[in-house]
Amino acid sequence: MPAVVIVVLVLFAFFLGYRFYSKYLAEKVYGLDKARPTPAHEFEDGVDYVPTNKHILFGHHFTSVAGAAPITGPAIAVFWGWVPALLWVVLGTIFAAGAHDFGSIVVSVRNRAQNIGTLAGSVISRRARTLFLVIIFFLLTLVNAVFSIVMATLFIGTPSAVIPAAVVIPIAIAIGQLVYRRRGSIVLPTIVGLIILYATIPLGQAFPITVDPLAGALGLEAQTVWVIILFTYTWFAARLPVWLLLQPRDYINSYQLFVALAVIFIGVAVGLNTIVAPAFNQDLPEGSPFWFPFLFITIACGAISGFHSLVASGTTSKQLDNEQDARYVGYMGSLGEGSLALASILACTAGIGAYSVWQESYSSFNSASANGLGNFTTGVGEFVSNIGIPAAVGATFAAVVVITFAGTTLDTAVRLQRYVVQEIGEITGVRTLSRNMTLAATIAVLLSAGLALFPYGGGGEAGFAFGVLWQLFGTTNQLTAGLALAVIAVWVLASGRNPLAAIIPLVFLLTMTSWALLINLGNFFRDGAWLLLVLDIIIFVLAVWLIVEAVAAMNRVRRERRAGGADADAGATDRSPERPPEG
């Protein structure tokens, strides 16, 4: 199968999804109102609440959700064949991720930009707020741990990417200062910054940087040193105003993502690469996990992701200038991530080389997990070589893309976890925790770093990050998406509109993720992974509890509407404005 045919068909399907389905969601399901003031205006503070141009906000949202996960997950999932992975990416993006991401922004904006956990308390029940916050806390800890290991792995495997990945930070700060102080356009400074970033790729190849000497002097592994460096940086980054680093770096990365997708798809078209991987892998080694349900948690981003609801309701909703911008930012952002997942699938099935090379890289699930990122960078290098750029430069380019996206997600996730820690402090009455940004950020960083550095020997070839931690992250992430859809569905129903657009993917996700959680319980028990077993049990119990709360809430809303007592504006939608506790 020529890869270019897949590109054309999938991108056309995405176009139809935005043109028709997102319009249906905007008008018939979420009822957007451009005249309604957004929290960015009501609570503007220049730090978290900042009315932002929709294109700039799209850059923040897109690159915050499109981190390393939509690359890593599909790069692993093609182990089962490229057809099931591609179908889940396409259908999941259009019908699940679009409704989920878009809806999370709208519901949050209608409720003073509260995060999705707090919204569970407003829309479902007060108990649900606490339950959801705990689940979100676990998810963010897993996200931070996984993405720090992803970045550390790439720094070790591609030391030529260190200088370009580091250079983007001062470039972003300079752009942030320029735009915020002078109130000028961000487009030209961003393009200049991107050119400078790409100009450092040859410099990185000439002067690759490793931490091996430092690690040897400290008696630590190189990965451990990188994780410590990354979390030290993130501690500072998560406390800075969004306009200073997060927004401009996100905008740079959004341009970079467009460039990366264009280079990849043009390379596919020029080289006429053919997919060498099997459509359905019928030669799975004994003991391999079955694609049903594990495909739907392995591709934990790129189809639908619970982390997106945290970004949508945690930072994006606080910056939305106009309610109608939610369609562009939310739904288009999910399509962008689906496009990145498509690029990953093609790189690992059409750019990797001959079938024998693919077969060796995907000889087992552990091999697929361990080699996924490497297969992606190799495949992109092959595509880039089709347009006259050396494959080694293309591989470094691909590594820089993944690292910078993962870094953006890590910054956003730690910031979100700071919000959650502060909100937990608010609920428990610990004022020191709820009001002290430094303490909350420190707790978020230390817990995430601790999990990333936790010793575990049961990961096999894939190691802790991809052999074990990725599975727990995937189940928790997709379960969170299902729970976010439950909040959206109850809110839509209470608003007097049809909630099926949220309920159908909700039922599917909760079934798949609960099933996978139960399987993982047995695996963790068999391997003696007691910490992960306990985390899995806690998350599963909380999830079941919250599902019960959500079903009860929907039944309550139906009874109220039948009795004529429901408010068409969903009650919680129009609460009087007051500063949200996490702000």
Q: Which two tokens stand for residue 538?
A: 């806690």
How many other CB atoms are found less than 10 A from the CB of residue 147?
Answer: 30
pLDDT at 469: 74
Tell me the pLDDT band of 456, cut-offs 50, 70 and 90.
low
Average pLDDT over residues 547-574: 71
Average pLDDT over residues 24-29: 96
Dist CA 292 CA 301 (whole Å): 17
Quick check: bond before 293 cis, omega within 30? yes
What is the enclosing helix (H) or strand (E) of 401? helix 391-428
pLDDT at 570: 46
Q: Which of 138, 134, 165 is nearest to 151 (CA)?
A: 165
Q: Which of 489, 541, 117 is nearest to 306 (CA)?
A: 117
Ranges of beta strands (E only) in 482-522 are none
pLDDT at 381: 93
Residue with tokens 């509109």: 497
Q: Which two tokens stand for residue 126?
A: 């007060």
The three-class DSSP label of residue 400 is: helix
Contact 11, 336 (CB under 8 A): no
Better-scored residue on pLDDT, 551 or 182: 551
pLDDT at 547: 77
For residue 404, give Cα distances in angstroms to 76, 322, 341.
Answer: 20, 28, 16
Share of the chain above pLDDT 70, in %: 93
Q: Is 445 left (phi over 0), alpha (psi -120 to 50) or beta?
A: alpha
Average pLDDT over residues 548-562: 85
Tell me the pLDDT band of 458, cut-offs 50, 70 and 90.
very low
Residue 472, phi then psi, degrees to nearest 5: -65, -40
First and final CA of the chain: distance in angstroms? 51
Contact 447, 141 (CB under 8 A): yes
Average pLDDT over residues 429-434: 86
357-375 pLDDT, tens digit each: 999 999 998 888 888 888 9
Residue 533, phi then psi, degrees to nearest 5: -65, -45
The three-class DSSP label of residue 200 is: helix
Q: Which two tokens stand for residue 377?
A: 């960078």
Longest dimension (CA), the chain: 73
Q: Residue type for 494, please? A: A
To the nearest 10°, report the CA torsion of 89, 91, 93, 94: 150
pLDDT at 79: 96
Q: Which of 452, 465, 453, 478 is nearest to 539 (CA)?
A: 478
| Angle ∠(170,171,176) on CA atoms, nearest 5 | 95
109-166 pLDDT, tens digit each: 999 998 887 888 888 887 777 777 788 888 888 888 888 988 998 899 889 999 999 9
Which residues partner with 2 through β-bridges? 274
523-553 pLDDT, tens digit each: 888 878 787 788 788 878 877 887 788 788 8
Dist CA 323 CA 130 (whole Å): 28
pLDDT at 544: 82
Contact 308, 100 (CB under 8 A): yes
How many other CB atoms are found less than 10 A from the CB of residue 218?
Answer: 12
Q: Decide if pLDDT at 463 tops 50.
A: no
Better-scored residue on pLDDT, 579 or 406: 406
Which residues partner with 274 through β-bridges? 2
306-337 pLDDT, tens digit each: 889 988 998 899 999 999 999 999 999 999 99
33-44 pLDDT, tens digit each: 989 999 999 999
Contact 186, 56 (CB under 8 A): yes
pLDDT at 249: 81
Q: Residue type for 126, please? A: R
Dist CA 228 CA 217 (whole Å): 15
Q: Decide if pLDDT at 175 tops 50.
A: yes
Q: Decide if pLDDT at 460 tops 50.
A: no
What is the enclosing helix (H) or strand (E) of 404? helix 391-428
pLDDT at 435: 84
48-81 pLDDT, tens digit each: 898 988 988 887 788 778 777 899 899 999 999 9
- Side-chain-side CA neighbours of residue 295 (13 Å): 20
Which residues partner with 135 through β-bridges? none
330-361 pLDDT, tens digit each: 999 999 999 999 999 999 999 998 999 999 99
Give the DSSP per-residue string, 207-274: S----HHHHHHHT--HHHHHHHHHHHHHHHHTTS-TTTTHHHHHHHHHHHHHHHHHHHHHHHHHHT-B
pLDDT at 184: 67
pLDDT at 542: 75
